[in-house]
Amino acid sequence: MGKTRMCTKYNTVEGCRFGDKCHFAHSERELGKPAYMTHEAPPMGGRFGGRPEPPPPVAMGPPAGNFGTSATAKISVDASLAGGIIGKGGVNTKQICRVTGVKLSIRDHESDPNLKNIELEGNFDQIKQASNMVSDLIATISASMPPKNPAPAGGRGGAPGGRSNYKTKLCENFVKGGTCTFGERCHFAHGENEQRRGAA
């Protein structure tokens, strides 16, 4: 029996707990392929996710003229950043999904245990917006983390060292649109009144 439906848990923050043994397809390429035979029960729930998903597109093409075409992107990041990207209770990833409309999942890297893959699925504009939000989030998290290798004495503000850069630069999202998805948790200044002088 082939995989005839997409897994509704695969592209969520929690991910599919069955992994390769799941009876549902994790990508369009898996549709129609035989499900792996296991002794585990299929996912519980009776319904397939609660909301209908659109049928997969027949063919992929360039972004021009293909409104709504589904695409995927993968961003590899240091594994130590994964928790901060997810956020407490999934607040950061849920916000990115809510604002952009992408499906976001964080998975183990194929070959390097020190890396994680952030996988984004949506149309090209959604992925671009989500990639920018993820990049901003990584910059914010990286700036607040203690350095892996301490900076030499007399290091400048841009060198690894992190905390000395807190609110020394203006938040690009706030400057462009007057709002920031991270609000008070943002490590960048929301206006000149919040901006601090950088370490000299």
Per-residue model confidence as pLDDT tens digits over 53-87: 555 554 444 444 445 578 889 999 888 888 888 88
Token pair 């992190």 is found at 162
Using DSSP, state whether 75 is helix, strand or coil.
strand
CATH of the domain at 140: 3.30.1370.10
What residues contact 116, with CB distance under 8 A and at least 6 apart?
76, 77, 78, 79, 81, 82, 106, 107, 108, 109
Question: Is residue 135 assigned to a domain?
Answer: yes
Spell out the long-range contacts of 44-48 with Cβ–Cβ below 8 A and sequence spacing 24 or more.
48/5, 48/8
Euclidean distance between CA atoms 37 and 70, whole angstroms = 30
**Residue 39 covered by a domain:** yes
For residue 153, tell me if it sits in a domain: no
85 & 142 share domain? yes
Q: Tell me: do 78 and 124 sit in the same domain.
A: yes
Max Cα separation, the chain?
66
Whether residue 169 sits in one domain with residue 142: no
pTM score over 0.75: no
Whether the CB-CB separation of 134 and 96 falls below 8 Å is answered with yes
156 within a domain of the structure (yes/no):
no
Q: Within a domain: residue 152?
A: no
- Residue 30 lies inside a defined structural domain of this protein: yes
125 and 76 fall within a common domain: yes
Same domain, 107 and 136: yes
Q: Are residues 75 and 106 in the same domain?
A: yes
Domain assignment present for residue 66? The answer is no
Count of structural domains within the chain: 3
Share of residues in the chain with pLDDT > 90 (%): 18
| Pair 141, 90 in one domain | yes
Closest CA to 172 of 189, 194, 158, 195: 189
Co-location of 92 and 31 in the same domain: no
Look up residue 137 and give its two tokens. Answer: 């989030």
Of 196, 103, 112, the closest CA to residue 157 belongs to 196
Classify the phi-psi angles of 42: left when phi > 0, otherwise alpha if psi is within -120 to 50, otherwise beta.
beta
Collapse the DSSP code of 127 into the 3-class scheme (helix H, G, I; strand E, B; otherwise coil) and give the result.
Answer: helix
How far from 182 is each of 48, 162, 196, CA to CA, in Å? 33, 18, 18
39 and 76 fall within a common domain: no
Distance CA 30, CA 88 (A): 33
Q: Residue 176: which domain range? A: 162-200
Output the six-digit token pair for 128: 């671009």
Q: CA distances (Å), 10 to each of 24, 73, 99, 196, in order? A: 9, 15, 20, 42
- Give the pLDDT score at 1: 61
Which parts of the chain have pLDDT scores under 70? 1, 33-68, 146-164, 198-200
Residue 52 within a domain: no
